[in-house]
Amino acid sequence: MACPQPQTGGPRLSILVQVLKDLVGMFLADARMSLAILALVALVAYLIDGAIVAPLIAGWILLGGAVLLLVVSALSAAAKSRK
């Protein structure tokens, strides 16, 4: 009688691994965007930690900065695809 093979995590683990690979791939594919987002978050954290602005204002700065970075990234990608 053969011993049963140990399970390797099954389909759930493979889906999780694939999702993590895709997330890492997205960050590595657009390094400038990732660095810009990290810089924005660091700036807002500094503004809040230093009590330079109120947290609500810092939240609006974070939202506006993220939207601005998204628009710039989309326009840049559109310009590259036209060439």
pLDDT number for residue 63: 93
For residue 11, tell me if it sits in a domain.
Answer: no
Q: Choose among 45, 46, 41, 29: nearest CA to 66.
A: 41
- pTM > 0.75: yes or no: no
Span 21-73, pLDDT tens digits = 877 777 776 778 888 888 989 988 888 888 888 888 888 989 999 999 888 88
Q: How many domains are contained in the chain? A: 1
**Which pair of tokens denotes residue 54?**
């109120």
CA atoms within 13 A on the CB side of 10: 2
For residue 24, tell me if it sits in a domain.
Answer: no
For residue 64, tell me if it sits in a domain.
Answer: yes
**Which pair of tokens denotes residue 23?**
């997330």
Which residue range forms the structural domain that includes residue 34? 30-82
Residue 2 predicted with pLDDT over 80: no
**Which pair of tokens denotes residue 69?**
């970075």
